[in-house]
Amino acid sequence: MTTIATDGKVMAGDGLVTGNGIVHGTNARKVHRLPDGRIVGICGSIYNYQPFLRWIEDESQDRPTLDDEAFEALVLQQDGTVKAYDGKCNWMWQEVPAVTGSGSAIALGAMLAGAKPHEAVGIACQRDTGTGGAIQIEALS
């Protein structure tokens, strides 16, 4: 799946893309900065990314139809708060540090022990089979 982690200031995510037992890439962009400054980290099927990003930029549009079994997202607001989204585009406030994805338990433990988001994702890369590749970092301005 992937691992996304944020401390309310910085968000980090891995770059691994897999499917059908094959590694398709290791440098996928899973952390995105929106024009309004919010930062979005997306986990799950890569085919859900663009529909969700278009909708999150303009929530007056109809909610996208996503593969809700293979989708999770964190949205870091400009004030440092975090919204967690499910595959139906429902959301709830998430306490920071906030994590999502297949390596989330590993990343959360690392952050609670003092790791920065990119370090926590790196630790998840070492132990979670769904996390790997290049780590991308975006910080609030």
| Bond into 51 cis (ω within 30) | no
Confidence class for position 70, pLDDT limits 50, 70, 90: confident
Contact 125, 4 (CB under 8 A): no
User: What integer best gives the mean pLDDT of the chain?
Assistant: 95
Q: At residue 47, does pLDDT exceed 80?
A: yes
pTM of this prediction exceeds 0.75 = yes
- Residue 89: its pLDDT value, please? 94
pLDDT number for residue 100: 98
Helical pair 117-127 and 104-112, crossing angle rounded to 10 deg: 130
Domains, the chain? 3-139 (3.60.20.10)
